[in-house]
Amino acid sequence: MDVHVTQSTVRGTTRAPPSKSYTHRALLAAGYSDGATVESPLVSADTTATARAVTAFGGAVDPASATDIGDAEALVVDGFGGRPEVPDDVIDCANSGTTMRLVTAASALADGTTVLTGDGSLRSRPQGPLLEALVDLGVRAESTRRNGQAPLVISGPLAGGEVAIPGDVSSQYVTALLMAGAVTDDGIEIDLTTPLKSAPYVDITLELLAEFGIEAEPIGTESDGAAGAEGFSVPGGQSYAPAGGSYTVPGDFSSISYLVAAGAVAAESGEVVRIEGAKPSAQGDSAIVDIAERMGAEIDWDREAGVITVARSDLSGIEVDVGDTPDLLPTVAALGAVADGETRIVNCEHVRYKETDRVSAMAEELETLGAETVEEPDVLTIRGSESDLVGATVDGRADHRIVMSLAVAALVADGTTTIRGGEHVDVSFPDFFDAMADLGMAVERGSADE
């Protein structure tokens, strides 16, 4: 689907969608339990893939139909009690890397063989370190193409043990092993062979596990968080059970980042964009508030009320390290294209292994709009002072975060910008263009077959 965004201003109040990261983990945690309710979930293409996996393992998610689930204010999960059944069919993780990695470890608990696959993009993403870790733990875990990529074949059961794994490829490997390890007989102790990147995403996991009554902790750090940890430990024989039988998903700061950016570059003069649902949590992407402020945005975050207000401001380029916040790279790149001076996004090589190579995608698509960019293996530089954004046709790369970030840039590009693949916002923020239209974005959507 093509989406056409014409230069426009925004103002008014909107609400952040629920967190995709928390929803994935909550659905699977509820699956590991005897049953639990997930309140205020994000229902998107990605999280629906995780719900399907829970069902494939012998659980159930109500409402179950794709038609009804999209409007659900809560999902009632009948869990499989920590012992997943061998699925009747292949598990299709669609485009969701989080689903595949979390479900790969869950599959290892089943006493039999599970096959996982996904779409073309997902089948190109690295799973090798997680497969190797499971093999070291005594599980058959292999890529059918012997390249560390899906389709994957996993045969358990997993008893637990000690394992070494790199920390600089994907924090989701750690999350997957911690979540599965809690219900093994022996528990799992993880030794990190390289420093952990995206540590806040492991903090999200530790926070959610605690909410479900699961004990897990970092090793080799004086803090309670994942940053600087040498490894992680989760005892076995535990049971997932949230207090009161339910868990409420917080707002999503990755999605909030596009709303903040839109306000900072295109809020109507004298007006603000007000974002509700921004309660503090372990999400590293809440760093977008500090990043926008450092760039010169007039921004305020009432943490107690969970409300962010942002006004259009004259922005200046800064250096941003996205080692712990990879999902913010597209948003920061869009801000950099509008800001004066240079914006340097550093420590970003791992961002190349997402739904697409997001470093190259943002460099190339922003250049199509008239931005000056310099791409290096681990650095993306946007020269805002040399950029003059003009509407053009750009490719969303079948990546929700690229689509939404380009839409932010399109707000200030002269004329109309056409974004290919606009439907991919369904992955994390299905109502994105509706929310932006309500704020004043001039947007038209083509037919689904465009």
- pLDDT, tens digit, for every residue of 409-418? 999 999 999 9
Q: Which residues contact 250 (CB under 8 A, 6 or more apart)?
A: 18, 19, 22, 277, 279, 281, 283
Q: Is 125 annotated as a binding residue?
A: yes
- pLDDT, tens digit, for every residue of 365-393? 999 999 999 999 999 999 999 999 999 99
Q: Is 20 annotated as a binding residue?
A: yes
Q: Is 197 annotated as a binding residue?
A: no
pLDDT computed for residue 73 by the predictor: 87
- 71 pLDDT tier (thresholds 50, 70, 90): low
Q: Is 401 annotated as a binding residue?
A: yes
CA dist 263 and 279 (Å) reads 19
CA dist 23 and 50 (Å) reads 9
* Boundaries of every domain in the chain: 3-15+251-445, 20-224+231-248
327 has catalytic annotation: yes
When the pLDDT of each residue in the chain is averaged and rounded to a whole number, the result is 95
Catalytic residue (choose from 92, 203, 327, 426): 327
9, pLDDT greater than 80: yes
68, pLDDT greater than 70: no
E-state strands within 284-351: 298-302, 307-311, 319-321, 342-346
450, pLDDT greater than 50: no
230, pLDDT greater than 90: yes
Tokens 């969608």 correspond to what residue? 17
pLDDT computed for residue 224 by the predictor: 82
pTM recorded for the entire structure: 0.85
DSSP H helices in 222-344:
253-266, 287-294, 329-338
- pLDDT, tens digit, for every residue of 10-52? 999 999 999 999 999 999 999 999 999 999 999 988 999 999 9
Give me the percent of the chain exceeding a pLDDT of 70. 97
pLDDT computed for residue 66 by the predictor: 47
Q: Are 19 and 250 in contact (CB under 8 A)?
A: yes
How many CB atoms are closer than 10 A to CB 447? 7
> 3-state DSSP call for residue 299?
strand
Tokens 């038209």 correspond to what residue? 444
Q: Are 38 and 15 in contact (CB under 8 A)?
A: no
What is the DSSP-derived secondary structure letter of residue 10? B
Q: 3-15+251-445: which CATH architecture? A: Alpha-beta prism (3.65)
- pLDDT, tens digit, for every residue of 262-304? 999 999 999 999 999 999 999 999 999 999 999 999 999 999 9
pLDDT computed for residue 446 by the predictor: 84
Rounded mean pLDDT of 69-73?
Answer: 65
Measured CA distances, 255 to 206, 227, 258, 383 (Å): 21, 23, 6, 25
- 399 pLDDT tier (thresholds 50, 70, 90): very high
Residues β-bridged to residue 112: none
Token digits of residue 390: 């003009």
Q: Is 358 annotated as a binding residue?
A: yes
- pLDDT, tens digit, for every residue of 129-176? 999 999 999 999 999 999 999 999 999 999 999 999 999 989 999 999
Same fold across 3-15+251-445 and 20-224+231-248: yes
Q: Is 25 annotated as a binding residue?
A: yes
Length of the chain: 450
E-state strands within 40-147: 60-62, 74-78, 91-92, 113-117, 140-143
pLDDT computed for residue 70 by the predictor: 54
Rounded mean pLDDT of 221-241?
Answer: 94
Nearest 5°: the CA angle 78, 84, 89 is 100
Measured CA distances, 206 to 25, 92, 177, 327 (Å): 10, 27, 12, 19
- pLDDT, tens digit, for every residue of 93-126? 999 999 999 999 999 999 999 999 999 999 999 9
CATH 3.40.190.10 is the classification of domain 20-224+231-248: no
pLDDT computed for residue 223 by the predictor: 80
**Sheet strand arrangement including 113-117:** 91-92, 113-117, 152-155, 140-143
Give me the percent of the chain exceeding a pLDDT of 90. 93
Q: Is 279 annotated as a binding residue?
A: no
Token digits of residue 330: 């597209």
Is the Cα torsion angle 305, 308, 311, 316 positive or negative in sign? positive
What is the DSSP-derived secondary structure letter of residue 77? E
Q: Is 172 annotated as a binding residue?
A: yes
Rounded mean pLDDT of 424-430?
Answer: 92
Looking at per-residue pLDDT, the higher value among 211 and 448 belongs to: 211
Q: Is 81 annotated as a binding residue?
A: no
Measured CA distances, 338 to 90, 179, 333, 392, 397 (Å): 45, 41, 9, 16, 22
Measured CA distances, 175 to 27, 142, 305 (Å): 14, 19, 30
